[in-house]
Amino acid sequence: MTVPLQSLPYLTGAFAVSGVAVLGAGRRELIERWLSWLVIVPLFGAAFWLGAPGTAALAAGAALVAAAEYARLARLRRTDLAVMAAALVAFPLTAWLAPGHLLRLLVAALLAVALLPVLAGDTATGAERARGAAFGVVWLAPLSGLVLLGDLALPLCAAIAVADVSAWCGGKLLRGPALSPLSPAKRWGGVAGGAAGGVAILVLLGAATPATVVAVAAGAPLGDLLESMLKRGAGVKDAGHWLPGFGGLLDRIDSLLVALAVAMVLS
């Protein structure tokens, strides 16, 4: 898998357009997010340029960071994190080298994180630990879609990034009723704006399939709400504090995780 050269000018243009929109909005948080993308975009571009080995390495690295952030939200123990992280790193590598074994790996990973508290004889918090770690495996495993989706993966990432800004603009301009009690500040106007901006990028890049359109229009906002639910349960505003404008990596890829899962299921 390689990134077509003709796609790069469009991706660069989409990033520039989103920058103009962000500067026009004049909101510090959005400007910080766009500046973070100045670092993220070259990293993603280099990984996709290298093909499957690059995207597998990118997904494995992201899985490690995301697993650590999730473990803090779910209050998992270090042993739970270690087993979960090992499985999540193995997913994109398996997607690259032996995709036919992914289902076996998923079953093995779920068994491993479920049996860990059993083997430790944890009668107090064992069930909660097993549920939390199993959910983490299922939630973060779709990062392997960066490898499995082939040439659709990069346009999907670009569409989700633009949809993030479009959703904020749409929410301010269109408003509408609140989307969910999980995130009262988000409006249905934001969902419409995000879907319009994201799908427009898919069309521009020639990657608008039924799977990718549904992934951007429905998967992305659902992914955002899913992380909002987890953060509310943990009593925190952000999953981390190291990524300017976003908080943590999970705050950046929450929409992408569910979008990748939807795209893989429907492709």
Are 59 and 147 contacting, i.e. CB atoms less than 8 angstroms apart?
yes
Are 19 and 165 contacting, i.e. CB atoms less than 8 angstroms apart?
no
Are 179 and 225 contacting, i.e. CB atoms less than 8 angstroms apart?
yes
| pLDDT reported for residue 191 | 92
**Closest by alpha carbon to 157, among 45, 243, 251?**
45
Q: Whole-prediction pTM value?
A: 0.89
CA pair distance 251, 264, nearest whole angstrom = 21
CA pair distance 161, 43, nearest whole angstrom = 14
Instruction: Please state the length of the chain.
Output: 267
List per-block mean pLDDT (blocks of 10 residues) for the chain, which spans 267 residues.
52 66 68 76 86 96 97 95 97 97 97 94 93 97 96 92 83 81 86 93 92 96 94 91 86 95 95
- Residue whose entry in the numeric block shows the structure tokens 């349960």: 233
CA pair distance 74, 64, nearest whole angstrom = 15
Are 26 and 59 contacting, i.e. CB atoms less than 8 angstroms apart?
no
| pLDDT reported for residue 161 | 86
Residue 162's Cα: distance from chain center in Å? 14
| pLDDT reported for residue 182 | 86
Spatial neighbors of 64 by CB under 8 A, at least 6 apart, are: 85, 88, 89
| pLDDT reported for residue 183 | 84
- According to the 3-state scheme, what is the secondary structure of the chain? CCCCCCHHHHHHHHHHHHHHHHHHHCCHHHHHHHHHHHHHHHHHHHHHHCCHHHHHHHHHHHHHHHHHHHHHHHCCCHHHHHHHHHHHHHHHHHHHHCHHHHHHHHHHHHHHHHHHHHHCCCCCCHHHHHHHHHHHHHHHHHHHHHHHCHHHHHHHHHHHHHHHHHHHHHHHHCCCCEEECCEEEEEHHHHHHHHHHHHHHHHHCCCCCHHHHHHHHHHHHHHHHHHHHHHHHHCCCCCCCCECCCECHHHHHHHHHHHHHHHHHHC
Half-sphere exposure of 206 (CA within 13 A, CB side): 7
Q: What's the N-to-C CA distance of the chain in angstroms?
A: 17
Helix axes of 220-234 and 188-204: crossing angle, nearest 10 degrees = 130
